[in-house]
Amino acid sequence: MPEGSPFPVQNLPYGVFSPPGGDARVGVAIGEQVLDISAIWAGTPLGADLATGSLNRFLRRGRGEWAYVRRRLLELLTGTEQRRLVEAHLHPLDRVRLQLPFEVADYVDFYASEAHATNLGRIFRPDGDPLLPNWRHLPVGYHGRAGTVVVSGTPVRRPSGQRRGADGAAPDFGPTRRLDIEAEVGFVVGAPSRLGEPVPVGDFADHVFGVVLVNDWSARDIQSWEYQPLGPFLGKSFATSVSPWVVPLEALEQARLPVAAQDPPPLPYLEEKEPWGLDLRLEVRLNDAVVSRPPFRDLYWSPAQLLAHLTANGASLRTGDLYASGTVSGRLPEERGSLIELTWSGRDPLRLPDGSLRTFLEDGDTVTLTATAPGADGVRIGFGEVTGTVVS
């Protein structure tokens, strides 16, 4: 395996791929290959659940099964004798087509980065308190459109919509002029929960299977005109891109780190004995130039707190639920996870290496998010990438 591969054996992220001429099936990435794990378990009920075009049937099997499969794959890929059993089922990554890894049930987007919420507050309400009164008490979030979650590589058509008229004039309708990205981290629910039964913070790992990268494309002009009083709608619902690989929580044990103290202390249902976050380092590239390096470790609310809040009213979880962090921004200007922050709403354009300037995205622009995290044995765990090109 090449040094520095994002997919060392300590990672083993899950995805859905089609080999040339073959049907979609579940695989794990290893080095520059993908292992067809539906073939490893061929002839068993587990194998049938893996020989499908989504991870959902595997995810539904629950935590015990996730651990078993990972353990067995580690044996197969590291034992010299056993390795021969898998050789026939490896496909070069550059020869397969990667698909949306899971059917998205409900998609929730949070707003859990304090720097991001503060930046947007400063931009939109320059004279008020940048954080609204509820922000430090509860993880603010809302439901997005599950049906327009697409896999990395899907072109993103510039959406049209109503844009506020200047100086109180009537709005007009046309292509967004403020197309933006949001660099986020998403959590994939495997095991469902029952309606009426909140999931306590401590049960996080019984339900959440793994982590994807998310680019929540946003049309800022559409959003700002429509969002009062019921929140973002068409400014977000045209596309949300996710990475093709779901990194299992088990691969991220070494990435855990305590979250900063929360003030005020969270209400009991959000209290975690040792609240932990993940040391994911994101990178945002715009046409191959790195424009930001958002640190996921700075998130105010922990992943387990987000899940506990989401279900505190008894809302049930389904296999395939996706909840994302919201834009990840750090305290430094070069750590901001959206263009509206990086360019301060267009006031401070970015200069790209080709000399061109950007406030928001232009047709033909390609945005790519990547991330790494510390893994076992000192390796770095990669998340692959989520990329998309804007088309008119």
For the annotated binding site, the residues are 109, 111, 125, 182, 184, 216, 223, 227, 236, 240, 327
**80 near a second copy, rule: CB under 8 A:** no
CA 68 – CA 320 distance, rounded (Å): 20
Q: Could you say whether residue 388 binds a second copy (CB under 8 A)?
A: no
116 is an active site residue:
yes
CA-derived radius of gyration, the chain: 21
Which of residues 11, 54, 237, 370 is near a second copy by CB under 8 A? 237
State yes or no: residue 317 binds a second copy (CB under 8 A).
yes
Among 239, 255, 299, 308, binds a second copy (CB under 8 A): 239
> According to the binding rule CB under 8 A, does residue 194 interact with a second copy?
no
Contact predicate 324/214, CB 8 Å: yes
Q: Is 150 in the site for a second copy (CB under 8 A)?
A: yes
- Choose the stretch contacting a second copy; rule: CB under 8 A; options: 251-259, 273-281, 306-314, 375-383: 306-314
Q: Which residue type sits at 350?
A: L
Find the shortest distance in angstroms from Cβ 337 to a second copy: 17
Distance CA 29, CA 243 (A): 13
CB 179 within 8 A of CB 390: yes
- Answer for the pair 56, 133: CB distance below 8 angstroms, yes or no: no
Of the candidates 152, 221, 158, the residue with the CA atom closest to the CA atom of residue 391: 158
Q: Is 238 in the site for a second copy (CB under 8 A)?
A: yes
Strand, coil or helix: 182: coil
Contact between 186 and a second copy by CB under 8 A: the answer reads no
Of 3 and 173, which CB lies nearer to a second copy in the complex structure? Answer: 173
Q: Is 228 in the site for a second copy (CB under 8 A)?
A: yes
147 near a second copy, rule: CB under 8 A? yes
d(CA 273, CA 20): 49
Interface residue with a second copy among 226, 250, 272, 341 (CB under 8 A) is 226
Q: Is 258 helix (H, G, I), strand (E, B) or coil?
A: strand
Sequence-ordered list of residues with C-beta below 8 angstroms from that of 346, at least 6 positions apart, any chain: 178, 340, 359, 360
* Under rule CB under 8 A, residue 254 binds a second copy: no
Query: What is the dihedral angle through the alpha carbons of 225, 226, 228, 233, rounded to the nearest 10 degrees?
Result: -140
Q: Which of 97, 145, 177, 293 binds a second copy (CB under 8 A)?
A: 145
The single-letter code of the amino acid at 117 is A
Chain contacts with a second copy (rule: CB under 8 A): 105-106, 108-109, 111, 132, 134, 137-138, 140-148, 150, 157, 159-162, 170-173, 195-196, 198, 219, 222, 225-235, 237-239, 264, 267-269, 309-310, 312-318, 321
| Catalytic site positions | 116
